[in-house]
Structure 1
Amino acid sequence: MITSLILYGQFFTRIPIPVPIDEPQEKFNKGIQYLTLFGLILGALEALVFWGLSFAFPTWLCWIFLLVIDGMITGGFHLDALADTADGMFSSRNKEKMYEIMKDSRLGTMGALALIYYYLIMIGTTYFISGHLSVLQNVFLAAITIMNTKTGISLIFLRITNSKKEKGLLKSWGEIAPWRAIGSQIFAVIVIFLALNWKGLIAYVAAALFVLVYKHWINKQLGGFTGDTLGAYASICQAIFLIIFAAVVKL
């Protein structure tokens, strides 16, 4: 477990962790059941900063700081994937051209719009939610929000279909045992319920159901997942969770 957590820290963040990992591809796949736990650890660290900032700033502003801090820690890892996916999938081109566009490092119009929409949703929902929760509840939600990037990824790993274009680590995704992804989701459900009660579970179910739509769309358009389309759902999962949570927070 510790090896998997270290590996995920090296892969998903810019935090320097000078620990050599043997056979990283195999350990990445065999540790998927710990992916949400890694997300929670990362979320707890960022939520701790959120809590500290709450003594000096209004809660809604702390949420904006959280987005900035997360971007600095992760290097915008999933946001880059979201932008590339939007550029490719909404290009109205054939499959081969979509792959080519997604591999292009330049930011296109649809990618820019996707990032704008993402931040509008994140800032708008958290601004609304922050007024209906205590500071401590906001701290819990901050941790869950960061955790959900990894919860979303592990949802995709449940019976994933790989693009034939992918090689190496990406090509091996299809070898991930379903029970590992399920274990990650069970952990997420328990944490979300303890932190946000049934309202959080409703938001989780919405994100879990939407992944079926997303998978169908990606498989239909590309014939399988790429690194970008996988990473994009991390941000999509966050946004859907907060949209639904905002809808039920006053109930």
Structure 2
Amino acid sequence: MKQIISREWQAFWLAIGFLSRIPMLVRIDYSDRLMNQCVIYFPVVGLLLGGIYAGLYLALVHVWSPLVCLGLVTGFHLWITGAFHEDGLADSVDALGGGYSLEAKLRIMKDSRIGTYGTVALIVALALKVGLLAEASPVWLALLLAPMVARMAPLLIMGFLPYVTDPDNSKSKPVADNFSRTRLMLAALFTIFVSALLIPPEPALWLWLGLATLGTALVWGAYLRRQLGGYTGDTLGASVVFGELVLLLGLAI
């Protein structure tokens, strides 16, 4: 039992290190199995990040206007996560917009340079995110909830699509290998439970919550199946950005 708890504790910190720049405060006995195991904690890390964003916003709003504060929080988000998911969005849009074959799309996706499609996608996504957050009520709840809920979208895609990229040069390969749908269900239950504590019992709001997760995973996943035959690490990052934007569209109404 002690060994199981220790392994899960390490998996939690490994998830933090994988998704953010937050220092891992425990010793990690790294393995591909542990990397795969840490996936269940992606929504937990999202909630942790969301709590930081919400707290930072509530502190800053006493000094500056809400719009300025949201710009500062967004900048902090890009730093603390290393723009991890935004990089995936840019690479995915560049590849899917500029590649005319599967090989070309995967090659463009691995290119560290950013193209016109990716640049435009990043500008639109970040501007839309700040604008939607400014319209959300309350703002702190949107900042808290969105990072957690959005990180369910890549897990759903991983649960039902194959991994299609160079397995020898991919950071996401250990995460994708032998992905457990049981752990997917546990992550989903955690997300639903926390959302139930935070969100008022309004059917329309819960319907939109489902749309932000299942809808994003279904639509983006279907597009990826048609274009690539499966998913890559970059497309998983893009799904987080899309999931956040869809959720914020609902919260901004």
In the superposition, the TM-score normalised over structure 1's length comes to 0.88
Opposite residue 157 of structure 2, the aligned amino acid is I
How far is 1:169 from its partner? 6.0
Between the aligned residues of both structures, percent identity stands at 27
How far is 1:112 from its partner? 0.6
Which one of the candidate residues 209, 220, 230 is aligned to 1:204?
209
Which one of the candidate residues 229, 237, 250 is aligned to 2:235?
229
Partner of 2:179: 176
**Counterparts of residues 43-62 of structure 1 (less than 5 Å):** 43-62=50-69
Opposite residue 59 of structure 1, the aligned amino acid is P
Partner of 1:8: 15
**Counterparts of residues 54-73 of structure 1 (less than 5 Å):** 54-73=61-80
Q: Judge conservation of contact 1:121–1:239 (CA < 8 Å) in 2.
A: yes
Opposite residue 177 of structure 1, the aligned amino acid is S
Q: Deviations over 1:6-29 (max 9, x none)?
A: 101211112232644223321122
Q: Judge conservation of contact 1:170–1:227 (CA < 8 Å) in 2.
A: yes
For the residues of structure 1 that align with 2:156 and 2:54, how far apart are their CA atoms?
Answer: 23
Q: 1:200 to 1:179 in 2, by over 3 A?
A: farther
Partner of 1:142: 143
**Counterparts of residues 74-223 of structure 1 (less than 5 Å):** 74-129=81-136, 133=137, 137-163=138-164, 165-167=166-168, 170-172=172-174, 173-197=176-200, 198=202, 199-207=204-212, 208-223=214-229
How far is 1:164 from its partner? 5.0
Structure 2: 5+ residue stretches without partners: 1-7
Q: Judge conservation of contact 1:202–1:245 (CA < 8 Å) in 2.
A: no
Structure 1: 5+ residue stretches without partners: none
Partner of 2:251: 245
Secondary structure of 1:90's partner?
Answer: helix
How far is 1:183 from its partner? 1.6
For the residues of structure 1 that align with 2:155 and 2:228, how far apart are their CA atoms?
Answer: 20
How far is 1:178 from its partner? 0.8
Secondary structure of 2:159's partner?
Answer: coil
Q: Judge conservation of contact 2:57–2:73 (CA < 8 Å) in 1.
A: yes
Q: Deviations over 1:173-200 (max 9, x none)?
A: 1511112112212211222232232354
Q: 1:82 to 1:188 in 2, by over 3 A?
A: same
Q: Judge conservation of contact 2:89–2:118 (CA < 8 Å) in 1.
A: yes
RMSD over aligned CA atoms reads: 2.0
Q: Deviations over 1:8-55 (max 9, x none)?
A: 121111223264422332112223222211211121122211111122
Opposite residue 245 of structure 2, the aligned amino acid is A
